[in-house]
Amino acid sequence: MRAHDQNHRDFASDNYAGAHPEVLAALADANGGHQVSYGADVYTERLTEVLRAHFGERTEVYPVFNGTGANVTALTSLLPRWGAVVTTSNAHIHTDENGAPERISGLKLLTVDTPDGKLTPELIDRQAWGWGDEHRAQPLAVSITQSTELGTVYTAGEIRAIADHAHARGMTLHMDGARLANAAAALGVPLRDFTTDAGVDILSFGGTKNGILYGEAVLALNPAAATGLVYLRKLNMQLASKMRFVSAQLLALFEDDLYLRSATHANAMAARLRATLEEAALPGLTFSRPTQVNAVFAVLAAEVADRIRRKVRFYDWDRAAGEVRWMTAFDTTEADVDAFVAVIRAELLASSNV
């Protein structure tokens, strides 16, 4: 039974998209028969081989259920109980994980405001101080997001500068890679270039936003920096008994570079959305941030946004400023973009004629 219109597309989140057909086929192939549970299966073994080819031979791979679990488990492995993480004030671990890093891991988040969602060595130093002060949580890790919550992308050089700065201060570097594939597509370089080779110690590798049903992976790129992951995954309720089904999906992303094909397409659809709207020069619509991946940030009147949203869902980013976020996904088509543009155009023109 189909309970929804499978031809409808929203622009709220790449989480709205279903699973890629190639991922579903991989799940079907992994089904049937018996495989050893809790990760001792052939799919998880193969996943480790594949990810080591992309990220380096030292990489340790820990598939998990979701992004929050990946981030919390990764950060917990980096820090003692008195440790703190320097991150941006709009980082997902701070704004959208319901206190999970603090409540589950017991760590402290030290946040920094940034104009573009990106940390720099200078911004890190606003919170990276107070070592040896018993009254202050000790800043011992940095967490960056690639691509960022504002749709911007760190270059490999920027990440290397952050890693060197953090390491010189005895800090480790975590990367939240929920949309890592979109960043790779935007940069046009191998995954290793802006992760392992740039000095990232541990990575939350995202799959859900790029076409799998569920599942992410914690990748210890520098295993010496992370301790206890084999225990922490279970402790944080992220150890799948039938892990082959998580691993098979992640494996599918690397078959014929599906992760890159899907991300490249999503990025292209965001670029098309922005370019088409810019060309239309519609009254009452401006763009607030660069479009580097699959996110378009725009500003329009709240009442107009609400009318558009009755037909196509999307989220407010800053309601007070009239800023909204439009996201594309692997299954967004040119026709979807053009239909959305038509809705936006109609409502903006109706508003300007009132």
Q: How confident is the model at residue 349 (pLDDT cuts 50, 70, 90)?
A: very high
Q: Does position 322 have pLDDT exceeding 70, yes or no?
A: yes
Q: Does position 108 have pLDDT exceeding 90, yes or no?
A: yes
Determine the pLDDT at residue 142.
98
Strands (E), 224-349: 286-287, 295-299, 315-318, 323-327
Q: Does position 2 have pLDDT exceeding 80, yes or no?
A: no
Determine the pLDDT at residue 263.
98
Q: pLDDT over 90 for what percent of the chain?
A: 96
Record: fold of 258-352: Aspartate Aminotransferase, domain 1 (3.90.1150)
Contact 142, 177 (CB under 8 A): no
Encode burial over 75-107: b for 16+ CB neighbours within 10 A, e otherwise. bbbbbeeebbbbbbebbbbbeebeebbbebbeb
Determine the pLDDT at residue 130.
97
In the predicted model, what is the mean pLDDT of residues 41-69?
98
In the predicted model, what is the mean pLDDT of residues 147-159?
98
Determine the pLDDT at residue 354.
52
Mean pLDDT of the chain, nearest integer: 96
CATH number for the domain formed by residue range(s) 20-256: 3.40.640.10
Contact 84, 138 (CB under 8 A): yes
Domain ranges of the chain: 20-256, 258-352
In the predicted model, what is the mean pLDDT of residues 8-34?
96
Distance CA 231, CA 248 (A): 22
Distance CA 66, CA 207 (A): 9
Q: Does position 1 have pLDDT exceeding 70, yes or no?
A: no
Q: How confident is the model at residue 27 (pLDDT cuts 50, 70, 90)?
A: very high
If DSSP states are collapsed to H, E and C, what string results for 242-263? Answer: CCHHHHHHHHHHHHHHHHHHHH
The pLDDT tens digits of the residues spanning 70-95 come to 999 999 999 999 999 999 999 999 99
